[in-house]
């Protein structure tokens, strides 16, 4: 079992969702997030005074996946989220010990 987490640009969310659905992902969690990477946000100028806005809006997507699907899923996600410009975000996967569906008590693969 893997937990795939992606922090991406908010305006890529719809494309990513569509791509994941096409791939066969049944569920995901989306959270509003903010942060910065190497580019350190952007600057804004108000009457000549420059402000550095380092926390830029992002969305965080979390998906539980079978080990077998994880690698392909990462590819799909990265492809759909990419604009090629700075600030596209990060995607990572981490191992998951146990998953339980709350309603039925099913575990792991059955719970996905």
Partner 1 sequence: MPEGFSAGDTAFVLVCAMLVMLMTPGLAFFYGGMVRAKSTLNMLMMSFISLGVVSVLWILFGYSLAFGPDVSGVIGNLDFVGMRNIEMDGLLDGYTIPVFAFVAFQLMFAILTPALISGAVADRFKFSAWVVFIALWVTIVYFPVAHWVWGGGWIFDIPVIDFAGGTAVHINAGVAALALVLVVGKRIGFKREAMRPHSLPLVMLGAGLLWFGWFGFNAGSGLAANGLSSVVLLNTNVAAAAAVLGWLVLERIRDGHFTSLGAASGAVAGLVAITPACSVVSPLGAIAIGLIAGVACAWAVGLKYRLGYDDSLDVVGVHLVGGIIGSLLIGLFATGTYGTEDQGLFYGGGLELLGRQAIGVAAVAVYSFVVTYVIALVLRSTIGIRASEDDERTGLDQVAHAETAYDFTGGAGVLSRSASPAATATGKPGRTDDADGGRSGHTAEAKVEA
Q: Which positions lie near partner 1, rule CB under 8 A?
A: 44-51, 53
Q: Which is nearer to partner 1, 46 or 104 (CB)?
A: 46
Q: Which is nearer to partner 1, 51 or 92 (CB)?
A: 51
Of 91, 94, 92, nearest to 8 by C-alpha is 91
Contact 31, 38 (CB under 8 A): no
Minimum CB separation from partner 1 for residue 43, in Å? Answer: 10
Question: How far is 37 from 54, CA to CA, in rounded Å?
Answer: 9
Q: Which is nearer to partner 1, 45 or 102 (CB)?
A: 45
């Amino acid at each position: 079992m893997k937990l795939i987490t992606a922090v991406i640009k908010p305006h890529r969310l719809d494309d990513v969702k569509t791509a994941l659905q096409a791939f066969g992902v049944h569920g995901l969690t989306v959270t509003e997030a903010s942060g910065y990477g190497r580019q350190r946000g952007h600057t804004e100028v108000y009457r000549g005074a420059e402000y550095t806005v380092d926390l830029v809006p992002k969305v965080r997507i979390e998906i539980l996946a079978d080990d077998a699907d994880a690698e392909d899923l990462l590819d799909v996600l990265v492809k759909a989220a990419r604009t090629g410009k700075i600030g596209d975000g990060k995607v990572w996967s981490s191992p998951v010990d146990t998953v339980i569906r709350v309603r039925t008590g099913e575990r792991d693969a059955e719970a996905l």
